């Protein structure tokens, strides 16, 4: 709807214009009127019309001065100037203000309506361009959020390739000297989880000077990756001094807004992107160790490592063991676990309670890691009653074997089965606006891992497979001469017939029309 204001010091002129517009113009309405320049300025500020029909010669502030004043604050308003004076000087003054339409009194109805329609076309075109731009921005921001989420997932499981890093870094405009991970835990039940997550993401984006990648949240613990060019990551004390004010402020603002202090585990900084998954597991380990001290709200992984040489050795063995579990290597995992238990017993001086506590922390981290990979596994219930170290060793070894075999089976069988389910889903829903994220959600995999499965098992991308299915279905529809090419386009999930024709020709080697001609009997 085009919103119009009429400005003229003669009431009869205003009424004539209003009647003319209301009778002849569809999609336009008179929202207000004014009898002089001062009123026009005030009404324009309050009503924000799209178009003003402005008389030039009025007592007090004339039309030219009124246009200047209005355009100073509302530059998007358009004007059609109306005057009984056919002089170059008047026309020149209004043209200098960007006014393109100039009508002489008395104006013919056709001239007035034609001028208004020209303005209406300009306004409609600008609105359409703005709407298209906003749609594009929304799609881009959604794609950007999705890409950041996917990169975070790939960092989580250490599946980032250098090509991915270069391409994504360029698109996201991310340069960094080192990266690190933190894990923030919602450690109370009374808080609105969705509201807290939204607040946390917003707080991190607004207050961290580093580039931030937020992983899809897992239960009540949210992994965050930070990529920074402010420090090089070599000096651990420098890193602590750099990140500590941000962590303390985040905890403080969370307490002020939600009345609780979140627990925060902080991993070490690393220069290589391939080591960021290590920083995540360090942050998770530090987070789990907070539970034993009610006065602590955040802890650095380096605090655990710096506890002593024995602790550092056990910590390194634990990280190596977690990597082996993630790969589903049963034999290697059991061997490393044996050494890990020995290191643990030496370090704890055969203190059974300390051994139980350490193994509880380890299995909590291990099962969380498996869930992060998208592999369903029962929640670990910490050991509470163990009569001897031998019993603890036997129980924990059985549990470890069960976990690794679960990973191995899932990688060998379940992943393939879910890929087949994904293919079946695509073949059934190809006519819909399918996305990788939608299909991944249906088969309960992360979008990144599903994409990886397509490349590894089928040698093609998700988009390539979807396109192949759609084009094959299009060939089938074209056997029916009663179905137009445009209808075929919509039936196989495309919205733009021109784009469909280009894709079809690229895959088949012929345009849809050429292909249909070949099908016709001689």
Structural domains for the chain: 2-130 (3.40.50.2300), 175-301 (3.30.70.270), 416-519 (1.10.10.60)
| 445/465 Cα distance (integer angstroms) | 17
Q: How many CB atoms lie within 10 A of CB 361?
A: 19
- b/e per residue, 194-208, with b = 16+ CB within 10 A? eebbebbbebbeeee
> What does the pLDDT read at residue 521?
57
Strands 211-214 and 101-104: unpaired
Note whether 473 and 479 are within 8 A (CB): no
- How does pLDDT run along the chain (522 residues), one tens digit per residue? 899 999 998 888 888 888 888 888 888 889 999 989 899 999 999 999 999 998 888 888 888 888 888 988 898 898 888 877 655 566 666 676 677 777 887 778 888 898 888 888 888 888 888 887 777 666 555 544 544 555 555 555 444 444 344 455 555 556 678 888 898 988 787 888 888 888 988 898 888 888 777 765 455 778 888 888 888 878 888 898 899 999 999 999 999 999 988 999 999 998 876 677 778 878 877 887 776 555 678 988 866 545 444 454 555 667 778 778 877 778 888 888 887 777 766 654 457 777 787 788 788 878 877 776 667 777 777 777 778 888 888 888 888 888 888 888 777 666 667 788 888 999 999 998 888 888 888 887 767 667 777 877 778 888 889 999 999 999 999 888 888 989 999 999 988 888 899 889 988 888 888 888 776 654
Beta bridge partners of 2: 28
In terms of Cα–Cα distance, which of 399, 401, 377 is closest to 386?
A: 399
CA 171 from chain centre, in angstroms, equals 13
| 14/33 Cα distance (integer angstroms) | 8
> What does the pLDDT read at residue 163?
38
DSSP 84: S
> What does the pLDDT read at residue 6?
92
Note whether 392 and 353 are within 8 A (CB): no
> What does the pLDDT read at residue 164?
45
Helices 309-327 and 352-372: angle between axes, nearest 10 degrees: 40
| 312/206 Cα distance (integer angstroms) | 35
Cα separations in angstroms, 189 against 14, 185, 246, 260 = 66, 11, 25, 10
Cα separations in angstroms, 333 against 398, 403, 407 = 12, 10, 12
Cα separations in angstroms, 285 against 179, 183, 244, 293, 449 = 18, 10, 18, 14, 25
| 504/424 Cα distance (integer angstroms) | 22
Nearby residues of 494 by Cβ (< 8 Å), 6 or more positions away: 470, 500, 503
Peptide bond into 497 cis (omega under 30): no
> What does the pLDDT read at residue 161?
44
Sheet with 28-34: list strands edge to edge.
28-34, 2-7, 51-55, 78-83, 101-104
| 403/232 Cα distance (integer angstroms) | 37
CA 360 from chain centre, in angstroms, equals 35
> What does the pLDDT read at residue 159?
45
Token duo for residue 397: 């070894």
> What does the pLDDT read at residue 414?
63
């Amino acid at each position: 709807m085009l919103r119009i204001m009429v400005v003229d010091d003669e009431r009869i002129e205003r009424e004539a214009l209003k009647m003319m517009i209301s009778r002849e113009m569809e999609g336009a309405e008179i929202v207000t009127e004014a009898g002089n320049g001062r009123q026009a300025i005030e009404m324009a500020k309050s009503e924000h019309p799209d178009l003003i029909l402005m008389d030039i010669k009025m007592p007090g502030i004339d039309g030219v001065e009124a246009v200047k004043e209005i355009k100073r604050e509302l530059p998007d308003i358009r004007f059609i100037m109306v005057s009984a004076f056919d002089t170059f000087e008047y026309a020149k003054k209004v043209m200098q203000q960007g006014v393109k339409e100039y009508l002489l009194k008395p104006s013919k109805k056709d001239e007035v309506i034609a001028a208004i329609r020209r303005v209406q076309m300009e306004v409609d075109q600008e609105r359409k361009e703005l709407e298209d731009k906003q749609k594009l921005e929304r799609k881009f921001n959604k794609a950007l959020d999705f890409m950041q989420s996917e990169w975070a997932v790939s960092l989580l499981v250490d599946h980032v390739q250098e090509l991915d890093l270069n391409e994504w870094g360029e698109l996201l405009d991310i340069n960094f000297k080192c990266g690190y991970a933190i894990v923030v835990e919602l450690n109370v039940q009374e808080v609105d989880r969705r509201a807290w997550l939204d607040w946390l993401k917003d707080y991190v984006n607004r207050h961290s000077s580093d580039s931030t990648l937020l992983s899809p949240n897992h239960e009540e613990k949210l992994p965050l990756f930070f990529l920074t060019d402010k420090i090089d990551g070599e000096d651990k004390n420098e890193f602590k001094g750099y990140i500590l004010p941000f962590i303390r402020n985040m905890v403080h603002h969370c307490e002020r807004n939600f009345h609780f202090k979140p627990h925060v585990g902080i991993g070490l900084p690393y220069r290589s992107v391939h080591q960021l998954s290590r920083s995540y597991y360090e942050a998770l380990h530090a987070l789990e160790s907070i539970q034993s001290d009610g006065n602590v709200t955040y802890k650095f992984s380096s605090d655990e490592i710096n506890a002593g040489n024995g602790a550092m050795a056990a910590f390194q063995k634990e990280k190596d063991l977690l990597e082996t579990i993630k790969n589903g290597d049963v034999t290697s995992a059991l061997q490393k676990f044996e050494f890990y238990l020995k290191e643990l017993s030496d370090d704890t001086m055969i203190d059974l309670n300390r051994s139980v506590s350490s193994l509880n922390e380890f299995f909590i981290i291990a099962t969380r890691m498996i869930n992060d990979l998208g592999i369903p596994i029962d929640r670990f219930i910490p050991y509470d009653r163990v009569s001897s170290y031998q019993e603890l060793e036997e129980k924990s070894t059985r549990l470890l074997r069960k976990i690794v075999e679960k990973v191995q089976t899932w990688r060998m069988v379940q992943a393939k089965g879910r890929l087949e389910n994904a293919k079946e889903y695509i073949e059934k829903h190809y006519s819909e606006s399918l996305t990788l994220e939608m299909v991944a959600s249906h088969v309960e995999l992360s979008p990144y891992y599903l994409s990886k499965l397509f490349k590894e098992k089928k040698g093609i991308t998700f988009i390539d497979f979807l396109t192949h299915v759609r084009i094959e279905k299009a060939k089938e529809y074209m056997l029916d001469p009663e179905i137009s090419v445009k209808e075929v386009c919509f039936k196989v999930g495309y919205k733009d017939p021109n784009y469909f024709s280009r894709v079809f020709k690229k895959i088949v080697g012929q345009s849809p029309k050429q292909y249909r001609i070949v099908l016709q009997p001689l």
